[in-house]
């Protein structure tokens, strides 16, 4: 018996949202329908795909393998449909782009209006995640990643380099003084990251691992703290170059700053899928020359 594709879509929604109720809410259908679809798939396959508990659902080992294959199969089917629609036509359809929120705020948002005017048939969806996302699991077509790439299964298009800057507001420096050597950092309030500890490794001399006075999980929060005079911060140029040029922040340690840490790299990553090629190329080719890294 052939499993219905709508049942498989519902199964994926349950897996991705970690629950039947959440999947029903996401798909705007009744929980009972979600349950029936999953039960129907398990019955047709003769295996248990999901272990149900009172709080969440988890994939069995057989379920993990099956769900991975379902994702690939649905991607191929969607690709076949899109290929037919796009053949000989300008790029169209949905394009899901993911990036850290500061990159979206400072780099992508200013470009969206022009992109939409040039490619009105592309339905752009922006999502924000501070860490790396699984493109297949999150149904993401392109992810903008800052730093060295480690996933060899993804294709990448280099967008450029964004140097790191150690910065502070003029008001903070007027009150606390301007540090001239890495050893003086201990005399200052330091703004760091609570999630990815490597972001607290500042590119001064051979590198300095700081102990933050304040931490935040989001780069834009760190930037706002620095602008408000709360201390020194180390942030990417795509976030603070404009602040430096306009005098809102002052760049420090420029003479002994490293520019080869790997964290300067900016890439667009994606799976090589022919049905997305036109949309991916259109987006990357449009934004790359307009980015202010």
- pLDDT at site 273: 61
- pLDDT at site 134: 61
251 vs 154, which has greater pLDDT?
A: 251
User: Does residue 2 carry a pLDDT above 60?
Assistant: no
- pLDDT at site 71: 80
> What class, spelled out in words, does domain 5-85 have in CATH?
mainly alpha
* 201, β-bridge pairs: 209
User: Does residue 87 carry a pLDDT above 70?
Assistant: no
- pLDDT at site 19: 83
- pLDDT at site 169: 98
Mean pLDDT rounded to a whole number for the chain: 87
User: Does residue 253 carry a pLDDT above 90?
Assistant: yes
- pLDDT at site 182: 94
| Domains 90-162+264-290 and 165-256 fall in the same CATH topology | yes
C-beta atoms surrounding 282 within 10 Å? 19
Instruction: Round to whole Å and give the CA distance between 277 and 270.
Output: 10
What are the residue boundaries of the structural domains of the chain, listed by start?
Answer: 5-85, 90-162+264-290, 165-256
C-beta atoms surrounding 140 within 10 Å? 21
Q: What digits encode the pLDDT tens for the residues 101-154?
A: 999 999 999 999 999 999 999 999 999 876 655 665 567 889 999 988 876 667
Side-chain-side CA neighbours of residue 223 (13 Å): 21
- pLDDT at site 237: 97
User: Does residue 1 carry a pLDDT above 50?
Assistant: no
CATH topology of domain 165-256: D-Maltodextrin-Binding Protein; domain 2 (3.40.190)
Angle at 96 between CA 92 and CA 98, to 5 degrees: 150
User: Does residue 5 carry a pLDDT above 80?
Assistant: no
Mean pLDDT of 206-214: 95
Which superfamily, per CATH, for 90-162+264-290? Answer: Periplasmic binding protein-like II (3.40.190.10)
């Amino acid at each position: 018996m052939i499993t219905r594709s709508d049942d498989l879509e519902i199964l994926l929604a349950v897996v991705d949202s970690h629950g039947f109720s959440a999947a029903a809410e996401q798909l705007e259908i009744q929980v009972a329908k979600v349950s029936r679809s999953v039960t129907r798939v398990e019955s047709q396959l003769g295996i248990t795909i999901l272990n149900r508990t009172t709080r969440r659902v988890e994939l069995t080992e057989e379920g993990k393998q099956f769900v991975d294959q379902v994702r690939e199969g649905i991607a191929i089917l969607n690709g076949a449909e899109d290929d037919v629609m796009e053949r000989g036509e300008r790029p169209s359809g949905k394009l899901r782009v993911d990036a850290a929120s500061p990159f979206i705020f400072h780099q992508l948002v200013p470009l969206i209006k022009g992109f939409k005017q040039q490619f009105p048939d592309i339905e752009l969806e922006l999502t924000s995640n501070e860490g790396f996302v699984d493109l297949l699991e999150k149904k993401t077509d392109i992810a903008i990643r800052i730093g060295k790439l480690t996933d060899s299964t993804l294709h990448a298009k280099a967008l450029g380099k964004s140097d790191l800057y150690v910065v502070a507001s003029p008001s903070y420096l007027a009150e606390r003084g301007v540090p001239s050597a890495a050893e003086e950092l201990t005399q200052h309030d330091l703004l760091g990251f609570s999630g990815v500890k490597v972001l607290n490794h500042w590119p001064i001399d051979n590198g300095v691992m700081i102990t933050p006075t304040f931490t935040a999980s989001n780069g834009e929060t760190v930037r706002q703290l620095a602008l408000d005079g709360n201390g020194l911060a180390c942030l990417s140029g795509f976030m603070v170059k404009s602040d430096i040029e306009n005098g809102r922040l002052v760049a420090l340690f420029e003479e002994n700053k490293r520019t080869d840490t790997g964290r300067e790299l900016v890439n667009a990553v994606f799976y090589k899928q022919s049905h997305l090629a036109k949309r991916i190329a259109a987006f990357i080719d449009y934004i790359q020359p307009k980015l202010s890294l």
